[in-house]
């Protein structure tokens, strides 16, 4: 079966949280995922800013997800979270999720996308570089004792 990318739903939250807990030392709270699922994967904030979350299915099960911001007033997008189930990594799902977000933001007139990543997360660095993103900054101690590297791309 083909991979399918769609807005997160409430039935996805348990699988999402399991992936989140297995991938990150400081996982997001389940309430964030519930709030996004209860809003059909799109929460609108002030000045039209949106926080969106889509999941990718593999053979009908949730295999990964991506959370991003769309800021129409600044024409900027930001990836807030991306993860793929460990046993399904290196199968192009991360690449598909990022491309999906780039396409979605491009359709909405967004010009640049940025994200922060732990300095030591080399798998993620390679993914972002593979997607044409470039290092554009550093935030010292953004993650407790680890710097964040900022990656960005002009769409």
Ligand X SMILES: CC(C)(COP(=O)(O)OP(=O)(O)OC[C@H]1O[C@@H](n2cnc3c(N)ncnc32)[C@H](O)[C@@H]1OP(=O)(O)O)[C@@H](O)C(=O)NCCC(=O)NCCS
For residue 49 the two structure tokens come to 């800013």
Near ligand X by CB under 6 A, which window of 8-16, 35-43, 87-95, 99-107? 87-95
Residue 79 CB, nearest approach to ligand X (Å): 8
Helices (H), ranges, the chain: 13-23, 30-38, 93-107, 122-130
Q: Measure the N-to-C terminal CA separation of the chain; round to a whole number of Å.
A: 30
Q: Which of positions 109-128 make contact with ligand X (CB under 6 A)?
A: 117, 121, 123-124, 126-127
Q: How far is CA 83 from CA 16, 49, 89, in A?
A: 9, 23, 9
Q: Tell me the residue number closest to ligand X, measured at CB.
A: 94
Residue 11 CB, nearest approach to ligand X (Å): 21
Count of other CB atoms within 10 angstroms of residue 47: 9
Nearer to ligand X, 13 or 82 (CB): 82
Question: Which residue ranges make up the site for ligand X (CB under 6 A)?
Answer: 23, 82-84, 89-95, 117, 121, 123-124, 126-127, 130
């Amino acid at each position: 079966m083909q991979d399918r990318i769609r807005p997160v739903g409430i039935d996805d939250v348990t699988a999402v949280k399991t992936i989140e807990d297995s991938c990150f030392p400081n996982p997001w709270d389940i309430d964030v995922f519930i709030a996004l699922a209860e809003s059909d994967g799109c929460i609108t904030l002030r000045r039209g800013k949106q926080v969106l979350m889509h999941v990718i299915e593999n053979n009908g099960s949730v295999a990964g997800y991506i959370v991003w911001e769309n800021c129409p007033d600044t024409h900027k997008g930001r990836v807030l979270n991306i993860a793929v189930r460990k046993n399904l990594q290196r199968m192009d799902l991360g690449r598909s999720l990022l491309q999906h977000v780039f396409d979605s933001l491009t359709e909405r007139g967004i010009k640049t996308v940025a994200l922060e990543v732990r300095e030591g997360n080399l798998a993620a660095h390679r993914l972002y570089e593979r997607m044409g993103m470039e290092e554009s900054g550093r935030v010292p101690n953004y993650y407790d004792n680890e710097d964040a590297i900022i990656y960005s791309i002009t769409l």
